[in-house]
């Protein structure tokens, strides 16, 4: 009984067990109901996303972007969508053995919504000799947990020319911006390596650094005080603040300020009539040139190019 | 109802939300959609900003029908998408939207004063707006 409380609680248990093993890639199917179990499912999904985001840096602080690392799910299928090959990574993500899925239809692993989407798209894709598309699909593991992601689908002619093959690829998940920058090399870079000295952080230090992070976000247009003064104000020393922040958020305090300012400017460039100079000034950038350079570095196009495409 | 009608300046609707704009308030009612993702969040913010035209306003955000909103969408709404908002009151229907608003508020810095309410009059009082208009006559 998919809607019975026992069934739903069992799913929650499965999800928690996966999380206990360190697997934060799954989610649970939300329900239409507005009851306590449904609220627990929503909470678990959201907490799971936040934990996942904390893992790229040292943890203890949730990042306000969705970070990404690389675990690939790859499936090779024939033209009917019958699975011919799976990678080991795919099997562990789907919590199954290769023999459990090889020979089965991909649609057996999909949710109802995805099944409809897949059927509609696939008939279009198969009309051509080769074609590619990106589809957001939800696959379901044997324990009923969801893996939902954008999947890259390539349809191509098989070598003997007799039929078509389908390759499905998706990556859970690469670090960086949720917005396409057109700079794939950059988005795959996980860390610059740990050159900085490690600081031992106690719970109080972690809270203090989180407070600094919140302070930056709430005062984006203002200039940061000197690190020395900021440290004094927060009751710590410059060394702990500087390296502790980098340890927790994976970015220096000043870079963090610039990155967050840029996020604010993005919507203003797209949806306001303010001049780029005004936007730069409002968000605390001293020079429009610096703003433009930093923006292009983050989003892959300059503020004026973005404005052009938004009009 | 007449008062509300007279006060209403603009309305707008997209696939995800209905917007009611008066001189003193923007009322956003999220529709019953299966999932709010980043793309949806971008449209929600785009339409809001186009409606506001740079005017800073308190926002009454009725999220009672929301059932699923993912992290990229939450982050976008909290950071990129919080321009021109002076105060936000979420209208919730526990337990689901209570959980959604609590996690959202706990995990994002509060650059805009935000609170959740189950009662619309209390929400409007928090926003400093008189409770004399009604979206469901």
Q: With beta carbons under 8 A apart, name residues in chain A contacting B67.
A: 30-32, 38, 42
Cβ atoms of B58 and B90 within 8 Å: the answer is no
Mean pLDDT of all residues in A159-167: 86
Worst-scoring range by mean pLDDT, A60-64, A91-95, A185-189?
A185-189
pLDDT digits (tens, 9 = 90+) for A102-158: 999 999 999 888 999 999 998 888 888 889 899 989 998 887 888 888 899 999 988
Give the residue from chain A lying closest to B78, CA to CA.
A64
pLDDT at A190 over 50: no
Whether residue A195 has pLDDT greater than 70: no
- Cβ atoms A302, A292 nearer than 8 A: yes
Question: Cβ–Cβ of B80/A266 closer than 8 Å?
Answer: yes
Question: Would an 8 Å CB–CB cutoff place A146 in contact with chain B?
Answer: no
How many Å is the maximal CA-CA distance in chain B? 40
The mean pLDDT of A211-235, rounded to a whole number, is 90
pLDDT of residue A212: 93
Q: Does A117 touch chain B (CB under 8 A)?
A: no
Residue B75: closest CA among chain A residues belongs to which residue?
Answer: A64
Min Cα separation B86/chain A (Å): 13
Q: Which contiguous run of DSSP H or E holds residue B62? A: strand B57-62
Please report, in tens digits, the pLDDT of each residue of chain B (137 residues total). 445 545 668 999 999 999 999 999 999 999 999 889 999 999 999 999 999 999 999 999 999 999 999 999 999 999 899 999 999 999 999 999 999 999 899 888 878 899 999 999 999 999 999 876 555 44
How, if at all, do strands B57-62 and B26-30 pair? parallel
- State ipTM: 0.84
What's the Cα-to-Cα distance from A36 to each of A42, A296, B34, B93, B95, rounded to whole Å?
Answer: 10, 46, 19, 12, 6
pLDDT at position A93: 81
> 3-class DSSP state for residue A289?
helix
Segment A280-284 mean pLDDT: 91
* CB-CB neighbors (< 8 A) of B50 in chain A: 271
């Amino acid at each position: 009984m998919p809607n019975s409380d026992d069934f739903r609680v069992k799913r929650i248990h499965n999800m928690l067990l996966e999380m206990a093993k360190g697997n934060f890639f799954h989610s649970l199917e939300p329900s239409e109901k507005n009851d306590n179990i449904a609220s627990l499912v929503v909470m678990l999904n959201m907490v799971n996303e936040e934990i996942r985001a904390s893992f790229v840096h040292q943890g203890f602080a949730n990042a306000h972007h969705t970070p990404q690392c690389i675990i690939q799910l790859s499936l090779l299928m024939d033209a009917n969508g019958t699975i011919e090959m799976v990678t080991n990574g795919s099997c562990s993500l789907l919590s199954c053995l290769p023999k459990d899925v090889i020979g089965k239809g991909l649609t057996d692993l999909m949710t109802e919504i995805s099944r409809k989407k897949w059927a509609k798209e696939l008939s279009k894709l198969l009309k051509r000799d080769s074609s590619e598309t990106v589809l957001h699909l939800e696959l379901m593991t044997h324990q009923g947990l969801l893996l939902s992601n954008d999947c890259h689908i390539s349809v191509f002619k098989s070598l003997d020319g007799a039929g078509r093959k389908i390759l499905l690829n998706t990556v859970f998940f690469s670090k960086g911006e949720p917005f396409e920058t057109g700079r794939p090399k950059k988005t795959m870079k996980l860390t610059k390596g740990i050159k900085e000295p490690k600081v031992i952080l106690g719970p109080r230090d972690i809270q203090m650094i989180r407070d600094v992070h919140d302070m930056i976000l709430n005062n984006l247009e203002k200039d940061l005080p000197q690190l020395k003064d900021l440290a004094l104000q927060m009751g710590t020393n410059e060394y702990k603040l500087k390296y502790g922040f980098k340890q927790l958020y994976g970015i220096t305090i000043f870079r963090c300020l610039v990155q967050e300012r840029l996020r604010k400017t993005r919507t203003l460039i797209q949806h306001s009539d303010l001049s780029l100079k005004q936007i730069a000034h409002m968000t605390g950038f001293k020079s429009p040139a610096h703003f433009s350079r930093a923006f292009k570095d983050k989003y892959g196009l300059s503020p004026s190019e973005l404005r052009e495409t938004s009009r | 109802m007449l008062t509300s009608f007279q006060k209403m300046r603009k309305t707008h609707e997209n696939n995800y939300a209905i917007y009611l704009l008066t001189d003193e308030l923007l009322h956003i009612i999220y529709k019953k959609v299966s999932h709010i993702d980043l793309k949806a969040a971008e449209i929600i913010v785009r339409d809001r900003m186009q409606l506001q035209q740079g005017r800073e306003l308190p926002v009454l955000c009725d999220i009672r029908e929301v059932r699923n909103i993912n992290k990229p969408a939450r982050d976008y709404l909290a950071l990129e998408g919080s321009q021109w908002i002076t105060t936000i009151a979420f209208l919730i229907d526990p337990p689901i939207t209570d959980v959604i608003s609590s996690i959202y508020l706990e995990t994002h810095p509060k650059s805009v004063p935000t609170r959740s309410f189950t009662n619309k009059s209390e929400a409007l009082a928090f926003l400093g707006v008189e409770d004399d208009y009604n979206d469901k006559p």
